[in-house]
Structure 1
Amino acid sequence: MWQETISIPGPYNFDLALDRLSLDPLHAVDLDSRTVKVPVANGSERQIATVKGTGSLEIPQFHITAEGSKEQTLSVLKEIFRWDVELRKIHDHFQSTDLKPIFDAHYGTPLVLDFDPFGSLLKCIIHQQLNLSFAYTLTQRFVHAYGIEKDGVWFYPTPDKVARLTVEEFRKLQFSGRKAEYVIGIAELAAEGKLDFASMRNQADAEIENSLIKIRGVGPWTVQNFLMFALGRPNLFPIADIGLQNALKKHYGLDQKPTIAEMEQLKEPWEPYLSYASLYLWRSIE
């Protein structure tokens, strides 16, 4: 067991980050103690890293307690929590845009990543065309049925294990037959090494999209959410997302959800930080 304290430049609103993480019942979050337990997989080894916020909005600090490789775990946590991203620069960018009130209200909220790229892609598939509450419930059923639990923290099942499941087993969890086939198909590709999540970190968004879009069940919405929440890419705006449409409707006081053409026009001033525009808009209605 080792411990480490990390300090980063502010702003960084760890409390709002924890609040969003707590929406997912699979996350071991304690809002009162400002902690989250993160599953860290290194090959067949599964370790848990506890991250506790000990600093403030403007002077962020985190106390980490974990086992296993210190260097590898710190690298994973840095990537997940985006400790290397200058949130002040992003905040300043939106001060001259229509989203200024939302960025002021959620000042310093980071784009925290999903804890596992394979799990992130599966979650994107599971969440397709479902309301958020049932999407989380369905994902939780799947992970509880086939994942691994360690000290109250859940790890997504491995690609090998998911690839061996049958559509009937998914149907018992209330998956549609088609969605079950999509999940199994992605797991088979990952198990065969045809989906290399590690190499994706060095690939351009377009290259990843061209690769993923060929997979059955993967559309633009799935690709964009994966790029955002598995790889932390900063300039994604999933226009087909109903939550974003509702957030824009609310923010601009529209009678109906904006059209695709209207959204394309609205988002222009928000580049190159469209992922943060998406995140803060979601936060405005969550």
Structure 2
Amino acid sequence: MGKQVFLKGPYNFYQALKRLTIDPLVDLNVEKQAIKLPIIVENNPLVVHVIQQGTFEEPRFMIQTEDTVNEAALMAELNRIFHWDKPLEDIYTFFQATELAALFQELRGTPFVCDFTLYGCLMKTIIHQQLNMTFAYELTKRFITTYGFKKKGVWFYPTADRVASLSVAELRELQFSQRKAEYVIDTSKLIAEGNLNLEALKNFSDEEVMDKLVRIRGIGRWTAECFLMFGLGRLDLFPVQDIGIQNGIKKYYQLDKKPEKEKMLEMSSHWKPYRTYASLYLWDYLET
């Protein structure tokens, strides 16, 4: 399959790919603006090539896969990941009337990119809890390369069935903590046994998803918010417990210390309904 997708600019795919270089298993080329995606469409693992062939102001993408696939289902999944159906100029214009106007001028056109699979997103978010980024990605890499699988040279997360069959001792050998190993296995069992349907969560509100997820042992508010953002692609999340966002606000507003959570909630109320983009841009600003 080969298909071209034309978007309304701006769309800074280069910046989006730069953000993804932190993950050692993502197969991409920043300079050529190309990525190979390991995605699941209608329960089938697919390797999909996405290449930016246009410009920042007039983006044009080539979508290629050698796998047989329902094109409509594939495009729906790519829209979930890349938000191609939400013009970034609208986001930019909205924030020009807020205190983050300068930030959005600096990072204009930077897209919000989701994780490639819902299960992978939830596993990654649990694994990353309370870890520094370097070790978090190293631990995730060990998890994927030990229990996942490769297709056409691209790594996929293991299935929920595979992880549900593991013992805590097996994950401990990868340097998982006792509790984190239990969280990963127990959550995977819920999914494998049909008691947690991640696809079905697409049909629920943010609050309903949050309520369902935080009932699960090992999933707190931060984990649920990150899944809503990077899994389901919800656009109005602002995880005030996130250290990166706290430090991003501290840097942007030139504060002496990190803001109180109540103050962050008050500030972010002016950024609805696009607080996810505020979160993303504050993370990016922290790294500049």
The TM-score by the shorter chain falls in which range? over 0.9
Structure-1 separation of matches of 2:43 and 2:113: 24
The answer to whether the 8 Å contact 1:125/1:222 transfers is: yes
Q: Give 1:281's aligned residue.
A: 282
Q: Give 1:33's aligned residue.
A: 32
Q: 1:209-251, CA deviations, whole angstroms, 9 ceiling, x for partnerless residues?
A: 1111100000000010000000110100000000001111111
Which amino acid counterpart does residue 270 of structure 1 have in structure 2? W
Q: Give 2:125's aligned residue.
A: 124
Structure-2 separation of matches of 1:229 and 1:243: 15
Count of aligned residue pairs for this structure pair: 285
Structure-1 separation of matches of 2:42 and 2:158: 13
Structure-1 separation of matches of 2:68 and 2:113: 22
Q: Give 1:9's aligned residue.
A: 8
Which amino acid counterpart does residue 130 of structure 2 have in structure 1? Q
The answer to whether the 8 Å contact 1:11/1:87 transfers is: yes
Structure-1 separation of matches of 2:20 and 2:49: 14
- After superposition, residues 206-225 of structure 1 pair within 5 angstroms as 206-225=207-226
- After superposition, residues 191-230 of structure 1 pair within 5 angstroms as 191-230=192-231
Deviation at 1:166, TM superposition (A): 0.8
- Unpaired runs of 5+ residues, structure 1, are none
Q: 1:20-65, CA deviations, whole angstroms, 9 ceiling, x for partnerless residues?
A: 1222112111112110001122456322100000111111110111
- SS class of match (2:38): strand
Q: Give 1:60's aligned residue.
A: 59
Deviation at 1:134, TM superposition (A): 1.1
Structure-1 separation of matches of 2:35 and 2:81: 12
Structure-2 separation of matches of 1:20 and 1:221: 20
1:235 corresponds to 2:245: no
The answer to whether the 8 Å contact 2:41/2:77 transfers is: no
The more displaced of 64-73 and 20-29 is 64-73
Structure-1 separation of matches of 2:42 and 2:157: 13
Structure-2 separation of matches of 1:74 and 1:149: 23
Q: Give 2:23's aligned residue.
A: 24
Q: Give 1:170's aligned residue.
A: 171
The answer to whether the 8 Å contact 1:40/1:73 transfers is: no
- SS class of match (1:285): helix
The more displaced of 231-240 and 33-42 is 33-42
Structure-2 separation of matches of 1:46 and 1:221: 28
Structure-1 separation of matches of 2:145 and 2:72: 30
The answer to whether the 8 Å contact 1:186/1:215 transfers is: yes
- SS class of match (1:55): coil
Deviation at 1:267, TM superposition (A): 1.0
Q: 1:45-87, CA deviations, whole angstroms, 9 ceiling, x for partnerless residues?
A: 3221000001111111101110221333222212211110121
The answer to whether the 8 Å contact 1:82/1:112 transfers is: yes
The answer to whether the 8 Å contact 2:11/2:88 transfers is: yes
Q: TM-score, normalised by structure 1?
A: 0.97
Structure-2 separation of matches of 1:45 and 1:235: 30
The answer to whether the 8 Å contact 1:125/1:218 transfers is: yes
Which amino acid counterpart does residue 103 of structure 1 have in structure 2? F
Structure-2 separation of matches of 1:205 and 1:265: 19
- SS class of match (2:39): strand
Structure-1 separation of matches of 2:42 and 2:181: 26
Structure-2 separation of matches of 1:235 and 1:176: 32
Identity rate of aligned residues, in percent? 46
The answer to whether the 8 Å contact 1:35/1:53 transfers is: yes
Deviation at 1:121, TM superposition (A): 0.6
The answer to whether the 8 Å contact 1:10/1:59 transfers is: yes
Structure-2 separation of matches of 1:194 and 1:86: 36
The more displaced of 51-60 and 70-79 is 70-79
- SS class of match (2:286): coil
Q: Give 2:258's aligned residue.
A: 257
Q: Give 2:48's aligned residue.
A: 49
Q: Give 2:111's aligned residue.
A: 110
- SS class of match (2:96): helix
Structure-2 separation of matches of 1:164 and 1:266: 45
